[in-house]
Structure 1
Amino acid sequence: MSLRLLTRSIPRSSKFSSRSIAFTAAPARASFSTSSSSSYASPALAQQSTENNNNDMPAPTRSAAQWSDFGRDHVCHGLGRLKDHVIVRGDGLDLYTAEGKKLLDFTAGIGVTNLGHCHPHVSQAAAAQVNNLVHLQCSISFHAPYLQLIEKLLPAMPHESLDQFFFWNSGSEAVEAAIKLARQATGRQNLIVFNGAYHGRTMGSGALTRSKPIYTQGTGPLMPGVFSTAFPYWHSLGVNPSTSEEELVRLAEHQLDLILRQQTAPKDVAAIFIEPVQGEGGYVACPPAFLKHLRQVCDKHGILLVIDEVQSGFFRTGSYFAIDQLAPELRPDVLVFAKGVANGFPISGIASNKDLMSKLDVGSMGGTYSGNAVACAAGVAAQEVYQSGEIEKNVAARGAELTDYLRKIADSPKTKHLVAEVRTMGLMSSIEFRIPTDPLTLEGVPQGTNVPKNIGKRVQEYCLDRDLMVLTTSCFDTIRFIPALTVSQEQIKTAMDIFTAAVENVAREG
């Protein structure tokens, strides 16, 4: 079959679908029945049709509560959870538990399901691929979806020099691939990362992670040759939140210079890894001037600049990649991506230029499932939705609304004494709360003001009790908002009404 025959177009429809969900519980199992009451409004923002779906648990031998008990008993203790719900279905921003509870999901699988759970165009493409070719190991031959995904991604790259790709499964693996490429291409070992960075939790990528020790504690020694320096963020530099961006950049540049003068010679550095918007670091955007400075430093010393857009890519910040906005002319040597590329199907990758990629030994890259055909087909379909233009428009509108709600919380006489900072970029938004033992976060708070402990956790618990799923992030007291990019104005309002009430409740309780 030709590549052309495998291409798809987004189904044309007229309205969002809305449906009522009825829950029927039996002693041994739980099941859903659905009815659709309207058609799609926009192909890009459409939600999955659920008619005739089988949403039962895999076996009829346990109740929902028994399945939860089974999970607590047999799932690895090292895996944490917000709640012990058993989720049986996802539809757009809605998740449904085995008990029939509907949850409003503002986590998107930690920034993965950018198009919402079970987006019809992506799901249909994956289903079609399952009946065509499920898997062909990438070292054996090309397969059509792999090549088609590259074709779709090429025009989306933040720089035209990024013209060769390698696909893997997870963000951590993609970072591992970038490490291998940087070291082989330069013949150097050392790597520089930033305080607050999250690049994964495998042994190589975990050595680059600097957001929290939990990801690697007790597993050392980690990969050697990694040096960490300050990100241009007031926490990282130990200055007040009101410090100007210009001063933050100056201080961060100074710290990087000290690394290169005191800890590792530039000629020993293979690459500098940076997230243009730190994820686990608190959703902190890097000032454009600092990104440009990094490019200059790398060019001067023959160091590769690796841009990690695992969480910030695929319109999460309002553009295909965050650096499209922050530094449009910036040339990454390597781009790392994952999460939103296939809307929940496991695929990640790196993009670089032919000259660097040619320095890899043939056979040095690979992996049993890397570039899986079904995941690639889902990725192709996801790019078709992204490239329709509808997602970009929705992120701009909904991101502005979300920002407005967060600013009102930060400015309200009821709650402003709880808020240290609001940070937003598209639909990658966060609100950082004050910590009574952290003087930096207390800037501007009148002496004697009661600032409670654990504000973020308390707010999160209030939201979860009211069926809104939100996540904390960073080692500071921060809640992040990462809804699907198909989120509606009504869903933003519903979520932020709950969230505002939660913050006000903590303020009252003290």
Structure 2
Amino acid sequence: KNSSLCLELFVYGVFSFNVFLLPGSIYFISSHGNKEYAYLLCVGMHGESGADAKCPPQNNTAINFFCNYEESRGNFLVDVDGNRMLDVYTQIASIPIGYNHPALLKVVSDPNNASAFVNRPALGILPPESFVDKLTEGLLTVAPKGLNRVQNMACGSCSNENAYKAMFIWYRNKERGTSIPSDADLSSCMINQLSILSFSGAFHGRTMGCLATTHSKPIHKLDVPSFDWPIAPFPRLQYPLDEHVRENAQEEARCLEETEDLIVKWRHKGMPVAGVVIEPIQAEGGDNHASAAFFISLRKIASKHGCAFHVDEVQTGGGATGRFWAHEHWGAEDPADIVSFSKKLLTGGFFYRDEMETDKPYRIFNTWMGDPSKNLLLAEVLNVIRQENLLAEVTRTGKALLGGLYELQAKYPNLLSRARGQGTFCAIDVCKASVRDKLILQARDNGVILGGCGDLSIRFRPALIFKEHHVHMFLNVFSDLLAAHK
């Protein structure tokens, strides 16, 4: 009642808020179904500073809503108002077996595991006695074909960042051997003379090296300088695939030709391509797919020119495509030199082949080098995946999800197009970004959490325990929203 101004805003085209500007305060009011919530975002707007100001301790403008994780279960996320929502986005594809899974709660409550959760060691210099055994029992049981070694990290960005360093080190060691670097090596290392080739639409992280290979959204790169590294075109396939076989083959051939030309061009510039990095499905960039033949040919081009081949499985890894690693769908005998991971694996890092091992300590290094407690949780996640045959379940559920998207696409051709996916790792395009964003907001208000990607896409990233009846719950809500769209 005391507000001096009330505005209704559409923030980034996604979340609808009423904003009340009170004396010294800003409140955001939003709705969940029939409920409303209000959050004080900032106080002290009238010149207060220092100890008198009570502004948030960090930028909070990306926050969607606050959650009650204690009450969340399985495929359902609960917000602070008690609204129970079917989560088809799962914290940006990072929840493997749902919220508060009993098997994981048991790991956390086991007194024998208390030390791992309380004491976080600097693993690179002082690992716990059981560390090697835990790696062998956990991460190494899912090592990709031909990759016998693993380096722990934390998030996806630091996993990729250090994988890039490993490729650079491998490339130079291949040239000169692992002997003591010459004076010329030591002086030339102070300027960047190698490069990583990435692809348009890619997302590999937000740290400096990763950001140089990220090309999905301008806001990620705004104001931040970057390296002069080559960017190759990623195929833009036409759908339905079976109706555009010739056109898509030509598109992939064009992209492969341009990729090889860039590798040669950068060598002539004196900045040889040490590695090629690519996602099996470009997730953040719009769920962009390519054929197995494309990836196998790209791998051959990289090998032909002496470049390491890095497959970024940060979002695709962990089973969502129906295989533990999305690159397994290629059927390649020698798929990669490095495979990075994070998200559904609860920890980060990269697998690599023997010859990619760094020759000296501290070259791939940080304080923590991962987290042993996450390895404990991951080992139990892998047990659940095997015991419950979840990869087969994902394949079945994915067929139901993609089939439902095909039906809706046929029913609403003016709204939806390009339904696509592997397993439950699916997406569909909407006619306009504003319509896409409105549908995501309306779905949330009707109890379903979705996420966007690329310019026009809605992406689906459920947990591995997502069943066919959950698919039908989602489809019922989504169908009603489409029918009501004007």
TM range (shorter): 0.7 to 0.9
The yes-or-no answer on 1:252 pairing with 2:238 is no
Query: 1:127: how far off?
Result: 3.5
| 1:502 equivalent in alignment to 2:484 | no
Q: Matches of residues 69-468 of structure 1 in structure 2 within 5 Å?
A: 69=41, 73-74=55-56, 76-77=58-59, 79-83=61-65, 88-128=70-110, 130-134=113-117, 135-143=120-128, 144-145=130-131, 147-159=133-145, 161-187=146-172, 189-218=194-223, 220-222=224-226, 224-234=227-237, 244-265=247-268, 268-342=272-346, 347-357=347-357, 359-388=358-387, 390-412=389-411, 415-435=412-432, 454-468=434-448
| Separation of aligned partners in 1, 2:244 and 2:108 | 46
Q: CA deviation at 1:70?
A: 7.0
Q: Secondary structure at 1:278's aligned position in 2?
A: coil
Structure 2: which amino acid aligns with 1:432?
D
Q: Which amino acid aligns with 2:135?
A: L
Closer, same or farther: CA 432–211 of 1 in aligned 2, 3 Å:
same
- Distance (Å, rounded) in 2 between the aligned partners of 1:264 and 1:213: 28
CA distance in 2, matches of 1:295, 1:379: 30
User: Contact between 1:186 and 1:270, CA under 8 Å: does it hold in 2?
Assistant: yes
Separation in structure 2 between the aligned mates of residue 282 and residue 504 of structure 1, nearest angstrom: 24
Q: Within 2, Cα distance between the matches of 1:252 and 1:276? A: 15
SS in 1 for 2:444: helix
For residues 386 and 68 of structure 2, the distance between their equivalents in structure 1, rounded to whole angstroms, comes to: 34
User: CA 1:394 to 1:68, structure 2 compared with 1: closer, same or farther past 3 Å?
Assistant: farther
Is the alpha carbon distance of 1:385 and 1:225 closer, same or farther for their aligned partners in structure 2, counting shifts above 3 Å?
farther
In structure 1, how many angstroms separate the alpha carbons of the residues matched to 2:57 and 2:201? 29
Q: Which residue of 1 aligns with 2:19?
A: none
Contact conserved, 1:85 with 1:97, CA < 8 A, in 2?
yes
Relative to 1, partners in 2 of residues 1:74 and 1:87: Cα closer, same or farther, differing over 3 Å?
farther
Give % identity. Answer: 21
The alpha-carbon deviation at position 354 of structure 1 amounts to 1.9
C-alpha deviation, 1:505, in angstroms: 2.3
Moved more, 240-249 or 115-124: 240-249
- Quote the Cα distance in structure 1 between the aligned partners of 2:393 and 2:255: 34
Q: Work out the CA distance in 1 between the residues paired with 2:297 and 2:406.
A: 31
The gaps in structure 2 that reach 5 residues or longer are: 1-35, 44-53, 173-192
Deviates more, 1:243-252 or 1:316-325: 243-252
C-alpha separation between the residues in 1 aligned to 2:421 and 2:373? 34
Equivalent residues of 2:252, 2:294 under 8 A apart: yes
Distance 2:381 2:69 in 1: 23
1:193·1:272 contact (CA, 8 Å) conserved in 2? yes
Amino acid aligned to 2:366: G
Which residue of structure 2 lines up, in the alignment, with residue 20 of structure 1? Answer: none
SS in 2 for 1:417: coil
Shift of the 149–328 alpha-carbon distance from structure 1 to 2, 3 Å rule, reads: same
Alignment TM-score, normalising by the size of structure 2: 0.79
Look up the SS of the partner of 1:204 in the other structure: helix
Contact 1:323 1:330 in 2 (8 A): no
CA distance in 2: counterparts of 1:145 and 1:491, whole angstroms: 38
Q: Secondary structure at the match of 1:422?
A: strand
Give the C-alpha shift of residue 504 in structure 1: 2.5
RMSD: 2.5
Q: Deviations over 1:346-374 (max 9, x none)?
A: x20111122211x3421222222322121
For the 8 Å contact 1:67–1:86, the answer to whether it is kept is no
- Segments of structure 1 that go 5 or more residues without pairing to the other structure are 1-63, 436-452
Answer yes or no: is the 8 Å Cα contact 1:88–1:98 preserved in 2.
Answer: no
8 Å contact kept, 1:428–1:482: yes
Distance (whole Å) between structure 2 residues aligned to residue 207 and residue 185 of structure 1: 20
Counterpart secondary structure, 2:463 = coil
Partners of 1:489 and 1:294 in 2: CA distance: 36
Aligned to 2:461: 482
8 Å contact kept, 1:145–1:377: no
Quickly say closer, same or farther: Cα 1:303–1:263, change in 2 above 3 A: closer
* Alpha-carbon separation, structure 2, partners of 1:174 and 1:147: 22
State the secondary structure of the residue aligned to 1:397.
helix
